Structure 1
Amino acid sequence: MRSSVFISCLISLAALIASPSHAAIRFAHVKAANNDILLIQGTFEPSDLPDKLEAEIKNSAPKFIAFNSPGGDTDAAIGYGRAIRRMKISTLQVSGSKCESACLLAFAGGVRRYAEDASMLVDRTLLSPGSSGLQTGTERYKAYLADMGLDPTLFTFVTSLADGDRRVLSLIDMAGFGLVTGQPTPYVAPTAEETAVSNEAPSTALNGAALQFFLETQRTWSTNEGMSFLENNYGDSVVYYGSPRSKADVLNEKQQFAERWPVRIYAVRSGTAHAACFDICTVVAVVDWYTYSPSRKKSSSGAVNAVMTWDPATHKILAENGKITTKDNSVAGPDRIIRRWLTDNAACSLSYAQDACNSQALLLTELSNSGWCRKADATWGPCTLQ
């Protein structure tokens, strides 16, 4: 199977990184899918001047900068962060590494920032006075965080921590603080046999129509419209997860699922949906899901690599397949979907990416329909009657 740049990035970084180094800053280069990643390792010290980093970037032209650092001098970290922003480089943080304390300030310099869950750790030393002593932290740090596009609540959160209190940030935390603009998600594309793509040139217009149909399929399956939509749009026979099935048989299975999980959110992850149309169309995408049964008080969530074959002449679904890549444990609520909303909302606000803007608006509606609302203090929880 083919894989995205991030799969290669994660594998390569994991092979190189052991534990956060406490030596002075040093550089390493990781080649991944023809993209060079500059790995910054060690503790930030006053002697780590930004011109050292700028020279390294000019010499190697990396696409991403990643970190393996326990933190260190805040002035040096901020200097690195501003250098990263001047050089217009994106930052990447993976769970096999750690970016701790002042390292977060350097990571924040990325023009685009990608991170995996639990790859960052903060404590009060994040906002400790640096070596320069030119300013007491408050205004200086607030100005830097604002310049990097971070939410001011990050400052409040860090200053509220007790001495010695170390917090691992979830992806929801990072997205809420504006630390991330996306997630380095390993996406495995289906095989040639799964997609059955010919050598003919695809139709751009049909590709767009197929994508819209796929998005509508996921949207309706998240509502009470789901069964009627499928009734109208399945072919008389469907190759369902590799087996030829009658339409009636597939609909019966779908009905049983809908009754078992009456609350459903299925969300196509922004930027992952692709269509190839010839005589028929094949759409592949990563879909995040959350399901809940009020009567059983059970819930589940995860991600699936989904594949759909669609006939643009009849507008009927001919085949459906998928492979679950992630299944969350101990699900108490739609954290995965909220995380998606936070990252899409950040991408929409920072870059006005249309697919992210459309996605965050749809997710907000689907979360609300499922009984989850955003509160006045920007936290999420069960909706309450006004």
Structure 2
Amino acid sequence: MSKTNNSLSCLDRALIELRAQLARILSTVMGAKVGVLRFFLLALIASGIFAHSARADIALERITTEKGVLLLLRGSFALSDDPQALAREVATTGAKVITFDSDGGNVVTAIAYGRVIRAVGLSTFQLRSGQCASACALAFVGGTIRYAEPGAIGVHQSSFSPGDILDGHTAVAAVQQMTAQIMTYLLEMGVDPKLLQLSLSVPPDDMRYLTAAEMAEYKVTAGFQDAAPEGVSSSAAIATPTVEHTAREEVVEPLSNEDKALAFVASYYEAWSRGNAEALTFMDRAYSETISFYGKPKSRVYVVDEKVKFVMRWPVRAYNVKPGTATVSCGTYCAVVGIVDWYAKRDIGETISSGSARFLISWDPSTGKIVTESGEVLEMDKNAVSPLRILSQWYDQNAVCRGGIGNSEASAAACANREAIAAKLNAVGWCHDAEGKAGYQLDWQRCGGTGDQNVSAVALSSKASIPRSAQYPVTGRFSGKTKLPDFRGRDRPFNSFRTRIRDGMREGPNFAGHYSVVQIGCGTGCLFAIVGDNNTGKPANFPRGGEDNPSMQLHFELGSRLLAAQWLDYNANKCVVEFFDYDRKTWSLVRKVDVGLSDACYRAVADNLR
């Protein structure tokens, strides 16, 4: 009995010393109220006493104190984890704070937990004696208030597990997609995306533990200055003299960062729709010195050089954000996401590009510069002869403008949008056919006439040598219910694209009798493909695509094993078409044909092969 009492006495003394140490830390850094301070002390001490090594899946533990419940999230993040379990635990316990004992795990799952943490309003708190490293850092930054001791948060490169064997194209696309997801998430949480650059500089087998200065700089820690000590009023509550005015003054509310960000994006696409000189002048001033450009860190000089190459290829341009699609979220940076419709035309040969894309622009309100640009093509209009999507926007806005009630805000906004769109259409050579017609009869046509296209097909040196689909017939066609891939087991390397693959395969075979060709965008002019066997459910990579084969287009048929891949060879300034025979196991290159200079790649594959 005496030994037990002595042991408890030693433990009590240790707890007293630890309480004092934590009190100094928290009162200095957080300025928390006394009651809240004590709550953190007791909870964190308890978590230290009962700490165990991390397990291979997530477990939530309740640490009950006299002031409430603190949650301890323990284990490695896995795809099988349910982030909503945390939301249910918060609803049950009323917990306000969460801490971690985790060495990382699956990045996507960690991000999902971080979003739940933010949604339910939890604060995150981490001592150096605990463990929050790798993907756990992403969950930690979900906290509304975030405190961590120096050395408590570790970061390094996110990498595939040793058991994942991915070919180059899939790995590049997966890394690009994951980088964009992490970047978007950090912006949502108000964290400086430069944290990602720091993480990428640390090898996967090493760990960089952040200093207090680094956590403050990258906004990993934030919010504790908002909690004032008990009995001390905030500066906002200090009484100020009342000034009486003899006349009513109109107060003009300053624009919010959200409004400024949306205005910047509108200006960006307006400038991009002007002549080359004006467009490039704007672009040269629009970017920060270092940018995350479609998932990769690039210099401003590099990005502007890419813009120069683009405007030289497509000197006639009209880009307009689809009304009602743009959303903005501001923290340290403002992330604007939306859909933009475009029309572009070559100055030679009347070649036209038209389509719709999703964009992400992250804008720094302190500098007025872009820090992140990314996006993906949603649709492309084959054989377009007009700016049909821009015209569609004009007709939609015209209907609201003319059909609006009085001076409603919606009607006024639609009228303003209509005029802005009309200016862009005029700039690319499209005019109202307005003479002698009422407003509701207005129509659009090419300025000065219809301007019929005069696009000549590329003359192939030997059309007889081009493989034809009929020469590669299938031996049978799949019938029955499609079997989907096993993303948790055999087909785990394809898990990052499981939704796109499932959706594509559920539509049934579209190639070689048994297969579904699923095409996935990886940025502007970037495409790769995965081919799923509807009989076995096994997916396979197509050997072309990604950054190595820009502007790729595919041509294939259900009744043939032949697949044609057209892509742009920048080094040779040529457009090439490669023909592959797929025999259920391997892709055999049958022939490679040059179909013209780079311009030819802006035509459909079938057009180039006629």
Place the TM-score, normalised by the shorter chain, in its bin. 0.3 to 0.5
Question: Whose Rg is larger?
Answer: 2
Higher relative contact order (CA 8 A, sep 6+): 1
Per the normalisation by structure 2, the TM-score is: 0.31
